[in-house]
Chain A
Amino acid sequence: MEKFKTVESRPAPLDSSNVDTDQIIPKQFLKRIERTGFGQFLFFDWRFNDDGTENDKFILNDPRFKNSEILLSQENFGCGSSREHAPWALRDYGFKVIISTSFADILYNNCFKNCILPIIVDEKHLNYLFNSSLNFNDYKVIVNLDEMTLRDNKGFSYKFNIDPYRRKCLLEGLDDISLTLMHEEKITLYENKFSK
Chain B
Amino acid sequence: MKPETLFDKIWNNHIVHEEDGKPTLLYIDLHLVHEVTSPQAFEGLRQAGRKVRKTNKTFATMDHNVPTLDRNNIKDPISAQQIETLENNCKEFQIELFDLASPYQGIVHVIGPEQGLTKPGSTIVCGDSHTSTHGAFGALAFGIGTSEVEHVLSTQCLWQNKPKTFEVRVDGIRPKGVTAKDIILNIIGEIGTAGATGHVIEYTGDAIKSLSMEQRMTICNMSIEGGARAGMISPDEITLNYLRDKPRIKSLDNLDSLMSEWRKLASDQGCVFDKKLLLDAAKIAPQVSWGTSPGMVSSVDSKVPNPKNIEDPVKRKSIEDALTYMDLKADTLIEDIKIDTVFIGSCTNGRIEDLIAASKIIHGNKVSPKVKAIVVPGSQVVKYQAEKLGIDKIFKDAGFEWRESGCSMCLAMNPDKLSPGERAASTSNRNFEGRQGKGGRTHLVSPTMAAAAAIEGRFIDIRAYDVDLGDY
Contacts and interface: CB of A to CB of B under 8 A. Distances in A.
Interface string B76-93: 101101100100000000
Given A45-B438, A194-B27, A183 B16 contact: yes
A165 to B, nearest CB: 5
B251 to A, nearest CB: 15
B150 interface: yes
A104 B147 contact: no
Given A82-B37, A114-B147, A104 B16 contact: no
Contacts of B229: 105
Interface in B308-353: 314-315, 317-318, 321
Interface string B141-160: 00111111011001111010
B275 to A, nearest CB: 15
A34 B78 CA distance: 12
B29 to A, nearest CB: 7
A116 to B, nearest CB: 12
The interface size bin for chain B is 35 or more
Interface stretch (B2-10, B208-216, B426-434): B426-434
A163 B159 CA distance: 13
Interface in A140-196: 163-165, 176-177, 180-181, 183, 186-187, 190-191, 194-195
Interface stretch (A52-60, A64-72, A73-81, A131-139): A73-81
B413 A177 contact: no
Contacts, number: 163
A61 interface: no
B159 A180 contact: yes
A165 B22 contact: yes
Interface residues of A, number: 50
Given A23-B432, A177-B48, A105 B23 contact: no
B161 interface: yes
Contacts of A15: 317
B13 interface: yes
B13 A82 contact: no
Given A31-B36, A194-B27, 10 more contacts: A22-B434, A26-B438, A28-B412, A31-B65, A76-B194, A177-B155, A181-B155, A187-B53, A187-B155, A191-B156
Interface of A: 15-18, 20, 22-23, 26-28, 30-35, 45, 74-76, 79-84, 87, 102-106, 109-110, 113-114, 163-165, 176-177, 180-181, 183, 186-187, 190-191, 194-195
